[in-house]
Structure 1
């Protein structure tokens, strides 16, 4: 029997494209905001596009914060994408200080409009950028295990994570702003880039996330 992957529907996110990508790699996928469905799933995907505060309000109003935290503590695989990555952190500076899920210690902050060389940069970052291993991190046996260093993936964001824990897996440089672009902590893998918008490379990441978590 196939394991079921639940994409959490909290009324903000690129649900269709993520759903199609996961189906394309052979997973059994359901999109749901039902607590029981989420609790009974074998793995969860937390996508997201939009404002951090709105997302937290939706999660709270749908009573989904408890099920997400329950999944993490019960060691179910959790994949966070873009805003879904940011929501895992303690707080965000977007439109004032907003508390996050606090599953991972750290904050979410905005790109500054001037880089280290004093030049203006375009915000948000929209388009292709590369990722590379963070310091001495090894991508073996991770969802990035088949990705070459400096591989390009698709980004759309104005804010980025600043972890207080040693969870960074990859880094990206956007016009002089070097930031953590994916994280791995136990059963949690999350990325700032959009694998579902990154062609074959993105599908490879989804597939290796499933394989490294015994979902296939």
Structure 2
């Protein structure tokens, strides 16, 4: 066989644009990696990509409203059902779950069984400062998303709510802020990380590169 046919085609990657994400920062991270990505706002075009990234900054309810109003919620669900790889970042990870208690109960995309809850500050004599902001370690299980990284590596976090997985097997990373909480998830082709890889220097870039290489 000619060596040309042995070359792996570069995946087509989209960052989902639903007016709730830090799109420029995520795209800049891929630019640093030399990877071409497209910021995509047309839900009908999502199915044409090999990978999609669901970013997010802000409130869960607002994000779901934006996704729904643009038809992106069903487009993302259909994409996940196709078996192609999807990565949620920060709020984007939380949206993968069935519901969130932020400002009342809001239904999520339902791609990961579980819910999103506020940090329980009542456990401590000195309440936790919320949001959880800054550098923190993530303790990870063996997963291709973390290939080449130590089992505990520092990443940058900014969030006031965290995920609770119904099936603990879906939790592939944990961090500690007062207590252990899930900071990375994976269920088949659907993955998510709570920290911001685009703000996490080399460790974050490694995660994004690993996602491209899945």
TM-score normalised to structure 2 length: 0.92
Shift of 1:3: 2.4
1:173 counterpart = 2:173 = no
Partner of 1:130: 137
The offset of 1:25, in angstroms, is 1.7
- Preserved contact between residue 164 and residue 182 of structure 2 (Cα < 8 Å): yes
After TM superposition, where is structure 1 displaced by more than 3 Å over at least 4 residues in a row? none
* Matched length: 205
Q: Is the 8 A contact 1:126 1:157 kept in 2?
A: yes
**TM-score (normalizing by structure 1):** 0.91
CA positional deviation for 1:36: 2.5
- CA distance in 1: counterparts of 2:50 and 2:36, whole angstroms: 10
Is this contact kept in 1: 2:102–2:117, CA < 8 A? yes
Structure 1 position 33, deviation (Å): 1.2
Distance (Å, rounded) in 1 between the aligned partners of 2:195 and 2:210: 16
Residue 198 (structure 1) aligns with:
200
CA deviation after TM superposition for structure 1 residue 138, in Å: 2.3
**By how many angstroms is 1:181 displaced?**
0.4
Root-mean-square deviation (CA, aligned residues, Å) is 1.2
Offset of residue 149 of structure 1: 2.4
Q: Which residue of 1 aligns with 2:92?
A: 84
Check conservation: 1:52, 1:83, Cα contact below 8 A: yes
1:9 corresponds to 2:17: yes
Report the secondary structure of 1:146's partner residue.
coil
Q: Using the TM superposition, give the Cα deviation of residue 109 of structure 1 relative to its aligned residue in structure 2, in angstroms.
A: 0.1
Q: Runs of 5+ in structure 1 lacking a partner?
A: none
Q: Is the 8 A contact 1:196 1:202 kept in 2?
A: yes
Structure 1 residue aligned with 2:44, among 36, 40, 44?
Answer: 36
Larger helix fraction of residues: 2
